[in-house]
Structure 1
């Protein structure tokens, strides 16, 4: 159990918010490489090392999000339970914040705040990275096939035809194709993770909405 002041918790949440988003944007979860090259395409990183780092980075982000959620829950609890005496009456910190935001925003009840949908940001980042990587793989392999066709046509051209070395030369083309074919590196199964994250968040939102409806229907208030 960790005890800190509310002001320290608010500062820590603000710093952690930025760190999580920065880490999401800087992380790399998918890559590609050629069969005849030991390293990845962008950083020439060992494939095994890349896979381990991708998994470690994903887990680290999830742990930071979990800590942010615990921190946010503690702040919310303190805001709801701590009372403040004001000129318009005694109210919780949460109520004071709502009243302040309503006044500052010209009567709007919408609270303006930075994005905190870390899970969706993570899923979107992984999804876009996957799409870009697959597009790059398709582009690389398409160019490789064009080169292979050029090689094959040259071997089977009239100038070279009948020299008795066609089979050997064509085997070189196959070796070229096998060695230069780009393939996806996806150690955490990005598509499945994106689906899991979004399904989990949708279920959570539905649960919270139901809990709020129940609370609104059962909690009684007195209006003077």
Structure 2
């Protein structure tokens, strides 16, 4: 009986030693391990933070890019190649003519106004084409030969040039003027206006035109 008790005691002691050895070999404390729920929460929090950072960075970059794109279109209206201001087109100009003859002048004068209504700045360089429609046919005006500067015409502004012609004091019927045709510089499209000057021109000997046109910006007496 005593031998049996000793044997059972020895077995219990061996089992205890074996359990202790297993705990030492593992080296971990189950109570110190994070719970599954805690680990999942921590992992999700990190992902959300990273996603938020990416969205913010992309949003900021998109705004910057859009701003540059929209800003790049400014300041180009009315410019041609090389950033130069484009020429005025006939359809952009409001063209009118008035009698500008001053009492006592030996020649008659018609002032032609070109107003820029195109919504952009544009340029006029040189001479306009001027033709008088008469009862004997078309009569082209001759350029005065004065230097013709380049004029930058702002939207809404007006530039004027002059047309001079001889006054018919011959006592005869002369040549009856029925209209005025104006073609802006470097354009092919013309505008036909009522002639505001004297009703007739003196008959010439056919050696040349008696009508003269001044350059853009000229005033009185054809410039």
Does TM, scored on the shorter chain, surpass 0.5? Answer: no
Greater C-alpha Rg: 2
More strand by share: 2
Higher RCO, Cα 8 Å, sep 6+: 1
More helix by share: 1
